[in-house]
């Protein structure tokens, strides 16, 4: 790497090395701070204009900071410009209407088999609704049974209902599809095939070859081995059983199947090492690049695979040129270009793993390889050291380099650690080059002459069986998987440490040029203090906390025992709501959920204006009417996951806590909050019919009851309260004498109740 004395020239010569990360940071910032794209463009122009005006007088470091700020603002503008806005010509604008419609379009990718259904991606062209035919655009994900034999390029007419994809408790399916520009779903419609073979000839031929290859593998190999080879060679994992997938996941060897950056980075290194030993470094590099490109086309060349291939090829370049500075720059530029095309790529797990796996090769493959060479040289003869260096570097150090950088992301996204991953990979990876090359040879031979393919398959079968048995062996060991979820702050700290380690010399020299060491030290100390206080506020304390915010109207903030936040309603004043949440939420903390369970203006009047600023992780609606419907549309415009709750649905608050919809009517829902021995009743959408229903059916006692409709006597009769046996009443209206202890937000201001499930602590604040 370049010396520290040349740090200034290093950064000046490679401006995209720091401008590209600034652009990515701006995209991430815009996901938290919602503002129109025009505002971000104005900020970008202002920073650029200041830098240009001061170009002859200001130090270069300050000009670089202004340029980075301009790049970050441009990234934020790009993110905002990418947010979908649906009009009458967009298919997604007809979602969730409850009408039966027909959609015509073309199958734009090979159908994919899932556990219980077939998924088809349709490029919509025409919609039929209310005796009208409307030209539309947009991608439609269709879920079908396994009966229809559909292919890429088929033109279909579907009869069914359009809906917005729904999220589960632990996976944002809607966000996952939105990153692929899919906003509409049709489940199990009636299907009519209009035409076949309407796709692009090149892709039709490629997809057809891939389908023939999958079918042939099942003729050549037993089912499990065929499914494994179909995944490795052709990117088709539909034949892998759930148990086998779990075995590969638990043992930390799933990357040999999944077409991800982790997989291709390791395969790239193996290809390069093998070809270089046979043909020399330059030819080996070229042939490895060709092999990865052909492999990318063979498995379908979708966006995730193309990204992974680009990262893998960059890793090859870094490994053999030895120019880490160029590799860093190329890696940063590639990530910036991918995000420029699709800003949502930053949240794609495949992209993240591709990026950091390649970064691991750039950072550590060279130093680890040199360390290994010196260690072997000291202990073994030169001939023995040379023979061992290649295999150990390929199967141990490359794996270690990639795992060092992918580990925090794997823990963040999947929350578990495979302690046997390294030994499992050391045992399983040596078989993979032979398995891929001989398996591919058997496939090609079988396409030409089936008996020859079967002969080669007989030789390859043992390698596939070995890979499966190794994964099952390590997955079955005691303690094979450890639950170890980590938060975003831990991930950022980990990568900041890696970055400082890799760029310590040029960064130190660059910071010295700022001549602000004392000021930077104070700033770092302040940032560390802020981070520690933020971490202290967000550490889960095992208590459930319910806060009636001091806003006009009704807004309730719930903090779960695990430190997550749920806002119920928002009151009538956007400014008051945002101010209260700024005081209540730790710095940098976002709402995990927003729940709308009523439709009155004093409950949700603030949300239409405040929602873009709040940006909750998910919006849940349990109320009908024009105002909740408008919130649904606004959340869709903001690309926020939206779910509709029905009686019996509940939020899992962790540690046994739950928030359940007891009943729902035209005005909204009645919610029951439970945590161990504590219970609270929140009749936010109570009406007279629901009241009669609950009185007749019986409602469990509750320690805390929020009076319905601001304490309106007709909805809070004595027999209702006597049946609930509350220890405390809350109301957003005027205090009343009801025979039970009562606190009013109008009289007492902010109200808070904390409980560990057996005891309660009360606070008030005006």
Given pLDDT bands bounded at 50, 70 and 90, which one contains residue 326?
Answer: low
**Which residue, among 594, 561, 562, has the nearest Cα to 577 in the 3D structure?**
594
User: Does residue 279 have a pLDDT over 60?
Assistant: yes
Query: Are 76 and 98 part of one and the same domain?
Result: no
Kindly report, residue by residue over 103-122, the tens digit of the pLDDT: 999 999 888 877 677 899 99
Least confident of 46-50, 256-260, 479-483, 705-709: 256-260
d(CA 51, CA 698): 69
d(CA 359, CA 335): 11
- Average pLDDT score over residue span 441-451: 90
Given pLDDT bands bounded at 50, 70 and 90, which one contains residue 543?
Answer: confident
User: Does residue 536 have a pLDDT over 50?
Assistant: no
Task: Decide if 701 contacts 725 (C-beta within 8 A).
Answer: yes
Query: Are 65 and 166 part of one and the same domain?
Result: no
**Which residue, among 447, 446, 355, 445, has the nearest Cα to 405 in the 3D structure?**
355
Query: Are 72 and 108 part of one and the same domain?
Result: no
Given pLDDT bands bounded at 50, 70 and 90, which one contains residue 75?
Answer: very high
Would you tell me the crossing angle of helices 421-428 and 450-475 to the nearest 10 degrees?
Answer: 160
Total domains present in the chain: 4
Within a domain: 251: yes
The pLDDT value recorded for residue 452 is: 92
Query: Are 186 and 227 part of one and the same domain?
Result: no
The pLDDT value recorded for residue 9 is: 63
The pLDDT value recorded for residue 3 is: 42
Given pLDDT bands bounded at 50, 70 and 90, which one contains residue 192?
Answer: very high
Q: What is the token pair recorded at 607?
A: 């949300």
The pLDDT value recorded for residue 71 is: 92
Q: What contacts 170, CB < 8 A, 6 or more positions away? A: none
Q: What is the token pair recorded at 157?
A: 């007419």
Within a domain: 521: no
CATH number of the domain at 658, please: 3.60.15.10
- Average pLDDT score over residue span 413-435: 80
Give CA torsion, residues 610, 614, 616, 619, to 10 deg: 0
Query: Are 217 and 337 part of one and the same domain?
Result: yes
**Which residue, among 566, 272, 297, 255, has the nearest Cα to 403 in the 3D structure?**
255
Query: Are 57 and 147 part of one and the same domain?
Result: no
Helix (H) or strand (E) holding 427: helix 421-428
- The residue that leads in pLDDT, 626 or 258, is 626
What is residue 429's DSSP assignment?
Answer: T
d(CA 464, CA 436): 10
Given pLDDT bands bounded at 50, 70 and 90, which one contains residue 528?
Answer: very low
User: Does residue 515 have a pLDDT over 70?
Assistant: no
Within a domain: 275: yes
CATH number of the domain at 126, please: 2.40.50.140
Query: Are 168 and 229 part of one and the same domain?
Result: no
Sheet-wide strand order for 742-744: 650-654, 657-665, 668-675, 678-682, 704-706, 728-731, 742-744
- Which of 49, 81, 113 marks a domain boundary? 81
- The residue that leads in pLDDT, 209 or 511, is 209
Q: What is the token pair recorded at 204?
A: 């039709």
| Dihedral angle sign, alpha carbons of residues 525, 530, 531, 533 | positive
Helix (H) or strand (E) holding 729: strand 728-731
Beta-carbon-side half-sphere exposure of residue 222 (alpha carbons within 13 Å):
10
The pLDDT value recorded for residue 290 is: 79
**Which residue, among 371, 475, 445, 360, has the nearest Cα to 407 in the 3D structure?**
360
Query: Are 441 and 341 part of one and the same domain?
Result: yes
Within a domain: 539: no
Largest Cα separation within the chain, whole Å, is 94
pLDDT mean across residues, the chain = 80
- Which of 142, 172, 199 marks a domain boundary? 199
Q: What is the token pair recorded at 213?
A: 């290859």
**Which residue, among 753, 295, 316, 351, has the nearest Cα to 556 in the 3D structure?**
753
Gyration radius from the chain CA atoms: 30
Q: What is the token pair recorded at 680?
A: 């609270």
Beta-carbon-side half-sphere exposure of residue 244 (alpha carbons within 13 Å):
19
The pLDDT value recorded for residue 612 is: 75
Given pLDDT bands bounded at 50, 70 and 90, which one contains residue 312?
Answer: low
Within a domain: 496: no
The pLDDT value recorded for residue 638 is: 78
Kindly report, residue by residue over 571-619, the tens digit of the pLDDT: 888 777 877 887 788 766 778 889 999 888 888 888 877 887 787 888 8
- Average pLDDT score over residue span 85-95: 81
Query: Are 98 and 230 part of one and the same domain?
Result: no
Given pLDDT bands bounded at 50, 70 and 90, which one contains residue 303?
Answer: low
d(CA 391, CA 432): 13
Given pLDDT bands bounded at 50, 70 and 90, which one contains residue 155?
Answer: very high
- The angle formed by the CA atoms of residues 694, 697 and 700, to the nearest 5 degrees, is 75
Within a domain: 516: no
Within a domain: 536: no
d(CA 657, CA 679): 10
The pLDDT value recorded for residue 268 is: 66
- Average pLDDT score over residue span 664-673: 90
Query: Are 30 and 173 part of one and the same domain?
Result: no
- DSSP 3-state of 479: coil
- Give the DSSP per-residue string, 498-544: HHHHHTHHHHHHHHHHTT-HHHHHHHHHHHHHHHHHHHHHHS--S-E
- Average pLDDT score over residue span 392-403: 71
Within a domain: 569: yes
Query: Are 70 and 97 part of one and the same domain?
Result: no
Domain that holds residue 437: 207-483
Query: Are 475 and 335 part of one and the same domain?
Result: yes
Task: Decide if 269 contacts 365 (C-beta within 8 A).
Answer: yes
- Which of 483, 505, 521 marks a domain boundary? 483
The pLDDT value recorded for residue 533 is: 45
């Amino acid at each position: 790497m370049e010396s520290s004395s040349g740090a200034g020239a290093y950064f000046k010569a490679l401006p995209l090395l720091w401008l590209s990360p600034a652009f990515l940071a701006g995209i991430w910032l815009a996901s938290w701070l919602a503002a129109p794209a025009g505002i971000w463009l104005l900020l970008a122009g202002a920073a650029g204009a200041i830098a240009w005006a001061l170009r002859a007088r200001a130090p270069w470091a300050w000009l670089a900071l202004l340029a980075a700020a301009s790049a970050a603002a441009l990234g934020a503008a790009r993110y905002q410009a990418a947010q979908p806005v649906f009009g009458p010509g967009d298919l997604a604008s007809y979602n969730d209407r409850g009408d039966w419609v027909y959609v015509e379009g073309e199958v734009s990718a090979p159908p994919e088999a899932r556990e219980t259904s077939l998924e088809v991606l349709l490029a919509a062209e025409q919609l039929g609704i209310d005796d009208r035919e409307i030209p539309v655009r947009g991608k439609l994900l269709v879920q079908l049974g396994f009966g229809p034999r559909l292919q890429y390029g088929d033109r279909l007419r579907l009869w069914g209902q359009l809906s917005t994809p729904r999220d589960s408790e632990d996976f944002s399916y809607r966000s996952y599809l939105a990153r692929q520009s899919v906003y509409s779903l049709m489940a199990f419609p009636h299907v009519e095939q209009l035409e076949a073979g309407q796709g692009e000839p090149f892709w039709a031929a490629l997809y057809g070859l891939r389908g023939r290859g999958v079918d042939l593998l099942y003729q050549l190999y037993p089912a499990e081995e065929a499914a494994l080879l179909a995944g490795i060679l052709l990117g088709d994992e539909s034949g892998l059983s759930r148990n086998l997938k779990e075995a590969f996941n638990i043992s930390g060897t799933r990357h040999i199947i999944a077409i991800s950056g982790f997989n291709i980075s390791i395969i790239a290194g193996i290809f390069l090492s093998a070809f270089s030993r046979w043909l020399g470094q330059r030819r080996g590099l070229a042939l490895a690049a060709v092999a990865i490109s052909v492999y990318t086309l063979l498995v379908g060349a979708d966006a995730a695979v193309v990204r992974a291939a680009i990262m893998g090829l960059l890793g090859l370049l870094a490994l053999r040129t030895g120019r880490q500075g160029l590799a860093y720059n190329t890696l940063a530029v590639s990530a910036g270009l991918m995000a420029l095309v699709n800003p949502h790529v930053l949240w794609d797990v495949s992209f993240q793993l591709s990026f950091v796996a390649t970064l691991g090769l750039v950072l550590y493959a060279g130093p680890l390889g040199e360390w290994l060479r010196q260690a072997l040289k000291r202990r073994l003869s030169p001939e023995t050291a040379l023979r061992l260096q290649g295999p150990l570097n390929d199967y141990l150090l490359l794996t270690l380099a990639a795992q060092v950088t992918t580990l925090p992301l794997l823990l963040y996204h999947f929350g578990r650690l495979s302690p046997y991953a390294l030994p499992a990979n050391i045992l399983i990876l040596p078989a993979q080059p032979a398995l891929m090359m001989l398996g591919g040879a058997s496939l090609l031979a079988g396409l030409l002459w089936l008996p020859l393919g079967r002969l080669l398959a007989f030789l390859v079968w043992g390698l596939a069986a070995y890979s499966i048995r190794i994964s099952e062996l390590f997955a079955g060991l005691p303690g094979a998987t450890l639950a170890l979820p980590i938060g975003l702050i831990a991930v950022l700290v980990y990568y900041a440490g890696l970055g400082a380690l890799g760029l310590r010399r040029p960064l130190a020299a660059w910071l010295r040029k700022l001549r602000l060491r004392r000021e930077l030290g104070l700033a770092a100390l302040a940032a560390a203090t802020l981070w520690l206080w933020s971490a202290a506020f967000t550490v889960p304390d095992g208590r459930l906390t319910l806060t009636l915010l001091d806003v006009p109207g009704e807004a309730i903030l719930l903090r779960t025992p695990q430190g997550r936040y749920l806002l119920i309603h928002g009151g009538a004043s956007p400014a008051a709501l945002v101010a209260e949440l700024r005081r209540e939420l730790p710095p940098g903390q976002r709402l995990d959920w927003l729940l709308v369970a009523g439709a009155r203006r004093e409950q949700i009047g603030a949300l239409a204006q405040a929602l873009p600023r709040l940006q909750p992780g998910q919006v849940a609606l349990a109320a009908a009417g024009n105002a909740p419907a408008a919130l649904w549309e606004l959340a869709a415009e903001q690309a926020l996951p939206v779910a509709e709750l029905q009686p019996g649905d509940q939020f899992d608050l962790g540690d046994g806590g739950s928030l359940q919809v007891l009943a729902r009517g035209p005005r909204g829902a009645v919610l029951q909050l439970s945590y161990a021995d504590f219970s609270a009743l929140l009749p936010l959408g109570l009406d007279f019919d629901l009241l009669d229903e609950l009185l007749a059916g019986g409602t469990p006692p509750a320690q805390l009851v929020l009076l319905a409709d601001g304490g309106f006597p007709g909805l809070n009769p004595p027999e209702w309260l006597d049946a609930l046996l509350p220890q405390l009443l809350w109301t957003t209206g005027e205090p009343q004498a009801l025979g039970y202890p009562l606190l009013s937000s109008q009289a007492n201001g902010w109200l808070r109740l904390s409980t560990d499930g057996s005891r309660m602590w009360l606070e008030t604040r005006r």
